[in-house]
C-alpha cells in the first residue's frame, strides 16, 4: 500500500445509532423487495402472466441486484456509508413509484430492474454500517434483519391484498414514504468509513468479488449449504404462492407460507446464536433437508396445514444455515474489506436465489408446476445434505 493511502476503517468508538438505523432501514428495503410476491396473483389475473413470466420478473430483479453488488457493492468503503445509503434509498423510492403506477408487464419489469439495483447498493452499505456500529452483534443483526424484513413484506402485503383497498398501490406508498424518511435521517448520523485515497472511483466501480484471503477457505466451505438455502428461498419467492393457490385457492395462504419460511428463519437465528458455526451449520442443513421433504409430502397430499408445518421446519434450517455461514464469514474481514466481502457473499446467495427459480419456471411450462416442485425440492434436499454426507469440517 502506498504512503498516500488512508485505509478505510470504522470510527474508534461503537456507533449504536448506526446499528439501529441500519437494521431498521435494511428491514424496510428487504420488505419492499418481498412485497411483489403476494401480488403476483393480482398481476397474473390482470395481465395473464405465466409461471415463466413470473420467474422472469424475479430473475430481472436478481440480475440487477447482482450488478449493483458487483459494481457499487464496496463503494461505501470509499465514499462513506451515508451518501451511498441515501442514494440507494432514493432510487428504491423511485422504484416504489413505478410499482404504484404500473399498468403493464413492461412497467413491472422496469420497477423490478430499478429496485434490484437499489436493493443491492443498500444491502452492502447498510450491512457494512451495521458492522461498523457493533462488530460483535453486527453479524447477528445482518443475518436476522433481512429475514425479518422479508417476513414483514410478504405477510404485510398478503394482509393488504386480503383486507385493504388498492393493495397494488398502498403497500408501495407506505414503503416509499419510509425510504424517503430514512434518506433524510441518515445525514444526522456519524460517518463511520473514510476514503482510501489511493483507490480511484473507476477502480471501485470495476466489477470484482472482494473475498479477502483470510476468508476464502471458509467462503468455499459454507458454499453448498448456502446455495441450498437460497435456491429454496428463490422458489418460495417466485412460484410457491402459485403452488399454495393450487392446494387451497385462497389469497392469503401464498403470502403466509412465504412469511412462515422467513419468520422461522429469524427465530432460528435467535435461538442458535449461542452456538458455534461448526454446530449451527450441520443442524441447519439437516433441518433444511427434513423440512423440504415434509413440504414436498404436503404438496403431494394437497395439505395446506402440512405445507405450513413443513415450511416452518425448512425455515428453521434456512435461517440456521444462513446464520452459521454469515457468522463464519463476516468477522473475518478487516473494516475496509467489509462491504466487499458482503457483496461477494450476496452474489453467491442471489445467484442461487435466481437461476434455479428461473429454470423452475421454464420446467413448469413443460411438465407442470407440481411435478417441477417435487424435482426442485429433491435437488435442494440433496444439496443441503452434501456437507453432511461428505463430512466436511465446518469453521468454528
Residue 289: per-residue pLDDT: 94
- Rounded distance between C-alpha atoms, residue 172 and residue 93, angstroms: 9
Residue 48: per-residue pLDDT: 81
3-state secondary structure of 9: coil
Query: Which residue's C-alpha cell is 389475473?
Result: 45
Percent helix, percent strand, percent coil in the chain, to nearest 5: 80, 0, 20
Give residue 8's pLDDT band: very low, low, confident or very high (50, 70, 90): very low
* Residue 121: CA count within 13 A, CB half-sphere: 27
Listed in sequence order, the residues at least 6 apart from 195 whose beta carbon sits closer than 8 Å to its beta carbon are: 6, 8, 78, 79, 80
Residue of 182 and 59 predicted with greater confidence: 182
- Rounded distance between C-alpha atoms, residue 40 and residue 172, angstroms: 14
370 class by beta-carbon count within 10 Å (0-12 exposed, 13-18 middle, 19+ buried): middle
- Rounded distance between C-alpha atoms, residue 381 and residue 291, angstroms: 9
pLDDT in tens, 277-308: 778 888 999 999 999 999 999 999 999 999 99
Phi–psi pair at 68, nearest 5 degrees: -65, -45
Handedness of CA 386, 391, 392, 393 (dihedral sign): positive
Q: What is the CATH number of domain 16-188+207-389?
A: 1.20.1250.20
Residue 201: per-residue pLDDT: 59
Residue of 169 and 71 predicted with greater confidence: 169
Listed in sequence order, the residues at least 6 apart from 194 whose beta carbon sits closer than 8 Å to its beta carbon are: 6, 8, 9, 80
pLDDT in tens, 103-151: 888 899 999 999 999 999 998 889 888 887 777 788 788 878 988 999 9
Which of 140-149, 265-274, 310-319, 359-368 is the most confident on average?
A: 310-319
Residue 3: per-residue pLDDT: 39
Show me where the domains of the chain are located.
16-188+207-389
Q: Measuring CA to CA, which residue among 10, 101, 105 is closest to residue 48?
A: 105
> In angstroms, what CA-CA distances link 285 with 273, 292, 322, 344?
16, 11, 10, 22
pLDDT in tens, 206-245: 655 668 888 888 888 778 888 999 999 999 988 898 888 8
Beta-carbon count within 10 A of 194 CB: 17
Handedness of CA 183, 184, 188, 193 (dihedral sign): positive
Asked if residue 254 lies in contact with residue 41, where contact means CB atoms within 8 angstroms, the answer is yes
Amino acid at each position: 500500500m502506498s504512503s498516500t493511502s488512508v485505509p478505510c476503517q470504522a470510527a474508534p468508538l461503537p456507533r449504536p445509532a448506526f446499528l439501529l438505523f441500519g437494521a431498521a432501514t435494511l428491514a424496510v428495503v428487504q420488505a419492499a423487495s418481498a412485497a411483489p410476491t403476494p401480488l403476483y396473483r393480482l398481476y397474473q389475473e390482470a395481465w395473464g402472466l405465466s409461471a415463466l413470466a413470473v420467474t422472469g420478473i424475479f430473475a430481472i430483479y436478481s440480475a440487477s441486484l447482482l450488478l449493483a453488488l458487483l459494481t457499487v457493492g464496496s463503494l461505501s468503503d470509499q465514499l462513506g456509508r451515508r451518501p451511498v445509503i441515501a442514494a440507494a434509498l432514493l432510487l428504491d423510492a423511485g422504484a416504489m413509484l413505478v410499482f404504484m403506477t404500473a399498468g403493464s408487464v413492461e412497467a413491472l419489469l422496469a420497477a423490478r430492474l430499478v429496485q434490484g439495483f437499489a436493493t443491492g447498493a443498500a444491502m452492502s452499505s447498510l450491512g457494512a454500517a451495521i458492522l461498523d456500529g457493533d462488530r460483535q452483534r453486527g453479524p447477528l443483526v445482518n443475518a436476522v434483519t433481512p429475514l425479518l424484513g422479508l417476513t414483514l413484506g410478504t405477510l404485510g402485503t398478503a394482509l393488504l391484498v386480503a383486507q385493504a383497498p388498492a393493495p397494488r398501490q398502498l403497500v408501495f406508498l407506505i414503503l416509499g414514504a419510509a425510504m424517503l424518511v430514512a434518506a433524510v435521517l441518515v445525514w444526522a448520523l456519524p460517518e463511520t468509513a473514510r476514503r482510501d485515497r489511493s483507490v480511484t472511483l473507476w477502480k471501485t466501480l470495476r466489477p470484482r468479488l472482494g473475498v479477502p484471503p483470510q476468508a476464502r477457505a471458509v467462503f468455499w466451505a459454507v458454499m453448498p449449504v448456502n446455495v441450498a438455502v437460497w435456491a429454496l428461498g428463490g422458489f418460495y419467492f417466485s412460484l410457491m404462492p402459485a403452488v399454495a393457490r393450487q392446494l387451497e385457492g385462497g389469497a392469503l395462504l401464498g403470502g403466509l407460507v412465504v412469511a412462515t419460511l422467513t419468520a422461522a428463519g429469524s427465530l432460528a437465528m435467535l435461538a442458535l446464536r449461542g452456538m458455534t458455526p461448526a454446530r449451527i451449520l450441520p443442524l441447519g442443513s439437516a433441518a433444511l433437508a427434513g423440512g423440504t421433504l415434509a413440504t414436498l409430502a404436503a404438496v403431494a397430499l394437497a395439505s395446506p396445514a402440512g405445507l405450513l408445518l413443513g415450511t416452518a421446519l425448512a425455515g428453521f434450517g434456512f435461517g440456521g444455515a444462513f446464520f452459521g455461514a454469515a457468522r463464519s464469514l463476516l468477522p473475518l474481514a478487516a473494516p475496509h474489506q467489509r462491504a466487499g466481502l458482503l457483496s461477494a457473499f450476496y452474489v453467491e446467495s442471489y445467484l442461487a436465489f435466481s437461476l434455479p427459480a428461473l429454470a423452475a419456471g421454464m420446467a413448469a411450462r413443460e411438465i407442470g408446476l407440481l411435478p417441477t416442485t417435487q424435482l426442485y425440492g429433491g435437488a435442494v434436499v440433496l444439496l443441503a445434505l452434501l456437507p453432511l454426507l461428505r463430512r466436511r469440517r465446518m469453521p468454528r
